[in-house]
């Protein structure tokens, strides 16, 4: 048993005693946070493998906020799942051999699904268990899978969208845009499936068969994952445009020109959409009108939004609070110690890490 597995085993045993075997430290001091009207809600720590004679210190590769949970993937392809409201460790296990591709998690019906190399991994975060790890019987890309009550949807390595049944992941049917473009992302509801291609296509088809409902064609490739928020699909394209599409009929509500190719997805929050554009910075766009609210040249990504205040992580390891209504900076906080962070569009919680330590920070309510 490794040191990490020993710590994790005791973490699960002692959770009933509300004791953690891993000592955690605040990522940012409480004094500094309080000066910015912020406070730590909880702090925790995950068990990262230390540096060895032939191996470097294990590092966090990414943090994903999904529903009530945080999914933390390391560069060794070890996945941790924490309850994002309490910081309690729910799950921890290796999902793939190091250096193999692992997709972002997607969820359906409170189950998280991850493509790890050529396997589909299903995790029940509430119970803290890996339900299964099934081999996918066809080649897939590293794009996240989608699921609904009937099927799984996979972006294939053969430029096809593969649809498989839930029970044994056997293929039921296929779909494609033009047979010459790679499928780059897919999202699904129980009624419809939406997928994008590097040929610039966004296609909506019925969930139970390859019957196209609508199609939108951008002038550039779409490599960033599609984002669905309510009845809208946000599409970030290499043609420099961010598109807001009606999920029912594909009609464009607006498009926002960012001035450079868009390689990452938009962050669609309650009343604003945030888009990073390489060489430009982070844009805030009014979700209803598509008009620019502000552009922060040093901005990298959204941390969280609280009403009309957006918290932004910048390239200098600063947290910048922006007033969306007045389009101006409110204040700046030094986040020099932060090594990883999550982008949260659900609420005002800010999730930041310094190596193994993780903190949840929120605005103080007066």
Name the one residue in this structure whose structure tokens are 């396997």: 119
Rounded (10°) CA dihedral 309, 311, 315, 317: 130
Q: How far apart are the first and last CA of the chain?
A: 48
List all residues 6 or more positions away from 366 whose beta carbon is below 8 Å from its beta carbon.
none
**264 close to 224: Cβ distance less than 8 angstroms:** yes
Q: Give 54-112 as a DSSP string.
A: SSPPP-EEEEEEETTEEEEEETT-EEEEEETTT--EEEEEE-S-TTS-BPPPEEETTEE
SS3 34: helix
Q: CA nearest 203: which of 223, 224, 220, 178?
A: 178
- pLDDT of 15 reads 40
Query: How far apart are alpha carbons 74 and 72 in whole angstroms?
Result: 7
**119 close to 138: Cβ distance less than 8 angstroms:** no
Q: CA nearest 338: which of 348, 352, 357?
A: 352
- pLDDT of 365 reads 83
Two structure tokens written together for 115: 């493509």
Query: How far apart are alpha carbons 231 and 248 in whole angstroms?
Result: 7
Q: Give 110-162 as a DSSP string.
A: TEEEEEETTEEEEEETTTTEEEEEEE-SS-B-SSPPEE-SSEEEEEBTTS-EE
pTM over 0.75: yes
- pLDDT of 7 reads 53
List all residues 6 or more positions away from 78 whose beta carbon is below 8 Å from its beta carbon.
4, 58, 92, 93, 94, 95
Query: Within its chain, how far is the Cα of 122 from the centroid?
Result: 17
In the DSSP assignment, the letter for residue 49 is P
Q: CA nearest 264: which of 253, 248, 252, 280?
A: 280
- pLDDT of 338 reads 97
Full strand arrangement of the beta sheet holding 212-217: 183-188, 192-197, 201-206, 212-217
Two structure tokens written together for 44: 């925790």
Low-confidence ranges of the chain (pLDDT < 70): 1-21
- pLDDT of 4 reads 66
Pairing of strands 281-286, 340-341: unpaired
Two structure tokens written together for 153: 């949807």
Query: How far apart are alpha carbons 197 and 218 in whole angstroms?
Result: 10
List all residues 6 or more positions away from 36 whose beta carbon is below 8 Å from its beta carbon.
319, 321, 331, 333
Give tens-digit pLDDT for 112-157.
999 999 999 999 999 999 999 999 999 999 999 999 999 999 999 9
Full strand arrangement of the beta sheet holding 38-45: 38-45, 357-363, 350-354, 340-341
**215 close to 203: Cβ distance less than 8 angstroms:** yes
Two structure tokens written together for 58: 């294990």
**235 close to 243: Cβ distance less than 8 angstroms:** yes
């Amino acid at each position: 048993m490794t040191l990490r597995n020993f710590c994790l085993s005791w973490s699960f045993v002692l959770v009933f005693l509300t004791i953690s075997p891993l000592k955690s430290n605040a990522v940012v001091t409480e004094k500094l946070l309080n000066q910015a009207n912020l406070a730590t809600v909880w702090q925790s720590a995950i068990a990262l493998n230390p540096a060895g004679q032939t191996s470097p210190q294990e590092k966090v590769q990414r943090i994903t906020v999904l529903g009530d949970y945080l999914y933390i993937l390391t560069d060794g392809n070890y996945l941790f799942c924490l309850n994002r409201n309490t910081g309690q460790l729910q799950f921890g296990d290796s999902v793939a051999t190091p250096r193999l591709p692992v997709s972002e998690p997607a969820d359906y019906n409170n189950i998280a699904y991850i493509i790890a190399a050529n396997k589909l991994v299903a995790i029940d975060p509430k119970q803290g268990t890996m339900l299964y790890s099934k081999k996918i019987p066809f080649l897939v890309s590293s794009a996240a899978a989608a699921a609904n009550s009937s099927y799984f949807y996979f972006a294939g390595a053969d430029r096809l969208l593969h649809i498989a049944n839930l029970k044994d992941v056997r293929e039921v049917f296929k779909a494609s845009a033009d047979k010459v473009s790679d499928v780059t992302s897919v999202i699904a509801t129980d009624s419809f499936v939406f997928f994008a291609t590097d040929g610039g296509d966004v296609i909506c088809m019925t969930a139970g068969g390859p019957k196209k409902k609508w199609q939108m064609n951008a002038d550039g490739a779409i490599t960033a994952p599609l984002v669905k928020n309510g009845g809208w699909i946000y599409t970030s394209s290499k043609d420099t445009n961010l598109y807001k599409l009606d999920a029912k009929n594909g009609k464009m509500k607006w498009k926002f020109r960012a001035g450079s190719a868009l390689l990452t997805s938009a962050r669609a929050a309650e009343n604003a959409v945030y888009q990073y554009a390489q060489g430009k910075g982070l844009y805030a766009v009014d979700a209803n009108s598509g008009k620019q609210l502000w552009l922060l040249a040093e901005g990298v990504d959204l941390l969280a939004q609280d009403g009309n205040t957006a918290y932004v992580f910048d390239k200098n390891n600063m947290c910048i609070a922006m007033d969306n209504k007045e389009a101006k900076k409110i204040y700046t906080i030094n986040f020099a110690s932060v090594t990883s962070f999550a982008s949260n569009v659900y609420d005002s919680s800010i999730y930041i890490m310094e190596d193994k330590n993780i903190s949840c920070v929120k605005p103080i309510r007066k």
